[in-house]
Structure 1
Amino acid sequence: MSKWTTAKMPDQTGRTAVITGANTGLGYETAATLAEKGAHVVLAVRNLDKGKKAAGQIAHRNPGANVSLQELDLTSLQSVRVAAEQLKSNYDTIDLLINNAGVMMTPKSATKDGFELQFGTNHLGHFALTGLLIDRVSAVPGSRVVTISSSGHRLARSGIRFDDLQWEHDYSRVGAYGQAKLANLMFTYELQRRLQGTNTIAVAAHPGGSRTELTRNMPPLAALLTRLVEPLLAQGADMGALPTLRAATDPGVLGGQYYGPDGFGEQRGYPKVVASSDASHDTHAQRRLWAVSEELTGVTFPIG
């Protein structure tokens, strides 16, 4: 079977794609490729100056690209609500919502709403944004919500720490990252269950080992090991974005699937359907996480 590349992407003309964290790394490559294929791409970014620079680079790379900006700070539920209202005002339909932005292995800190930073940014911010936009997404046939997880979700071997969700005790930046990425997968699987019977599907993807600035907060030892193995295992952001792009555009994708690289340890290569941990498929925990997320964000989904 031939490898999936962007050459196999269908034309995206007429589609609107909202991509969080699209000013750099995987998000930027995802946005640039979708724009090249004709989509109207909305860069949902925290820093508008960086967003403008990225939009300019995309326009230079793809003359005639249709790119716009939306300010969005996932560490603030108020910012998420404002962004969602602006997006709903600007777009009657959203074909692709790509929950890409994230932070990785940060020192102990909190979002503006007091949530552990990685869980609050990577999961709760995207949970709220998706819930506030789902009516625009589900209004168009063939629409998709694509959420980016990580092979790091396997670090959360015991599942979600419901007894200490915000890591107020015994904080581990590695453990908290694993929990946040596990939450991304559990959110996708539960969202897909609630989307049954609609025109929309929920899909997850992970980039494998990609050379981006996401690793800047790694603990010193982990950062050293990453630098040592990077030449062997890591790949560029253009390759790392392929699982996301396939999940977003391949006509053969099914709701609830998870895409990642096909190489050794899923660290590099071309996108294929991959498996996730047993913990990610715990339906009771998925529903519990959903209920907790609704309570913490104040956002409920008008579906399911």
Structure 2
Amino acid sequence: MKRNGFTEADVPDQSGKCFVVTGANTGLGFEVSRVLAARGARVLLACRDQVKAEAAMARISQASPKANLAFLPFDQADLTSVRTAAELAAKEPRVDVLINNAGVMSPPLMRTKQGFELQFGVNHLGCFALTALLLPKLSDTKGARVVVTSSIAHRGAKIDWDDLNAEKGYGRIRRYAASKLANALFFYELDRRLRASGSPVTAVGCHPGIAATDLVRHMGAFQILLPLIKLFLNSAEMGAWPTLQAATGRVTSGGYYGPTGFQGKRGASGEVQRSAEALDPVLAQRLWDVSVDMTGIDPSLPPAV
């Protein structure tokens, strides 16, 4: 019987391909890495903690003894670390797909190594920087992709352009939603610029619906109730399906993939809609310019006409 949507079972053989997966030691990143390794891919697990990364690799290898895995030291809250990770990844014979999965959700007010508000700094600026730095390497491989993870929380979100660094005020949930809108705007603008420049790289976005992962560790009561709430959420395995589709399935350039089940929160993956604001070319170009200024890293892609 034909399934309605993309699941883990639809991931084709990935032998000979190399994937960089950020935040790969736990949650969605781990599940994505597990499946890709089982399909024959080389997977670079880009993580902050080497011990946790090695434990994750051991778990994957137990299920797939021939798994081709490597630890890539990577702290998305530190642009110096991001640059070093990109340099190390670029030494690979090839990189087919960059999966920007790492992120933080609703922590207390904290800052990155360079002093940016943590959620905007990690979820967007770190993702922007790594992508920009790896684009030359990706461009060497026909069919290469950049996958950016957004969230259903981007709907209704607003970016506080006058206070990107949360110096005037901080609402943790509001800032999270804004960072996810930034993710959506980024892959939208990246796709437009890649196509305008004739690049062989495709940019797509995804979201996991509402998945039961470690990302909710700052969510207080929600975390306490998680065992009960899990009955109504995607598992981490299911939450990984949109990422896997975006990374390995047939996709539309600039497309957005997520669960197609109950209110877009769970179920098999397919192409889904995003907010009108996430498709605003003026906002997307503004974010691009701000990101270059804040990170000091320029992808050197001309604006789309």
Aligned to 2:150: 149
* Distance in 2 of aligned mates of 1:292 and 1:92: 33
Contact 2:47 2:71 in 1 (8 A): yes
Contact 1:155 1:175 survives alignment (8 Å): no
Q: Indicate the percent of aligned positions where both proteins have the same amino acid.
A: 46
CA distance in 1, matches of 2:152, 2:167: 24
Q: Distance in 2 between matches of 1:166 and 1:61?
A: 43
After TM superposition, what 4+ stretches of structure 1 lie above 3 angstroms from structure 2? 222-230
1:242 is aligned to 241
Gaps of 5+ in 2: none
Structure-1 separation of matches of 2:225 and 2:48: 30
Deviation at 1:213, TM superposition (A): 0.8
**1:284 to 2:282 alignment:** yes
1:276 deviates by 0.8
Which residue identity is paired with 1:245?
A: L
Give the equivalent residue in structure 2 for 1:177.
Answer: 176
Tell me, in whole angstroms, the C-alpha distance in 2 between the residues paired with 1:78 and 1:117.
Answer: 15
Shift of 1:155: 4.5
The answer to whether the Cα contact below 8 Å between 1:135 and 1:302 also exists between their aligned partners in 2 is: no
Which residue of the partner structure matches residue 265 of structure 2?
A: 267
1:92 Cα offset (Å): 3.9
The residue aligned with 2:60 is 58
TM-score, structure 1 as length reference: 0.94
Secondary structure of 2:98's aligned partner: strand
Aligned equivalents of 1:14, 1:22: Cα separation in 2? 20
The match for 2:194 is 195
CA shift, 1:15, in A, is: 0.4
Tell me what 2:40 maps to: 38
The CA deviation string for residues 219-242 of structure 1, in whole angstroms up to 9 with x for no partner, is: 54x55676664422x121111000
User: SS of the residue aligned with 2:24?
Assistant: coil
Report the secondary structure of 1:94's partner residue.
coil
2:205 is matched by which residue type in structure 1?
Answer: A
Matched, 1:70 2:68: no
Q: Distance in 1 between matches of 2:225 and 2:50?
A: 33
Structure 1 unaligned segments of length 5 or more: list them.
none
CA contact (8 A) 1:10 1:249 kept: yes
Question: Normalization by structure 2: what TM-score?
Answer: 0.94
Query: C-alpha displacement at 1:166, in angstroms?
Result: 1.5
Deviations along 1:166-187, one digit per CA (max 9) or x if unpaired, are 2222210000000111101100
**Count of equivalent residues:** 298
Deviation digits for residues 37-93 of structure 1 (CA, Å, limit 9, x no counterpart): 1110000000011001111111111110000010000110111111111111x2142
1:231 matched residue in structure 2 = 231
Distance in structure 2 (CA, Å) of the matches to 1:173 and 1:25: 21
Question: Is the alpha carbon distance of 1:177 and 1:155 closer, same or farther for their aligned partners in structure 2, counting shifts above 3 Å?
Answer: farther
Give, as a single letter, the amino acid of the residue that structure 2 aligns with 1:296: M
Q: Distance in 2 between matches of 1:30 and 1:103?
A: 18
Give the CA deviation at 1:247. 0.6
Residue number in structure 2 paired with 1:107: 108
2:27 to 9, 22, 25: 25
1:136 deviation in Å? 0.6
Change (3 A) 1:150 1:135: same
Shift in Å, 1:106:
0.6
RMSD across aligned C-alpha pairs, in angstroms?
A: 1.4
The equivalent residue for 1:140 is 141
Where 1:97 maps in the other structure, the secondary structure is strand
Q: Verify the 8 A CA contact 2:156 2:275 in the aligned structure 1.
A: no
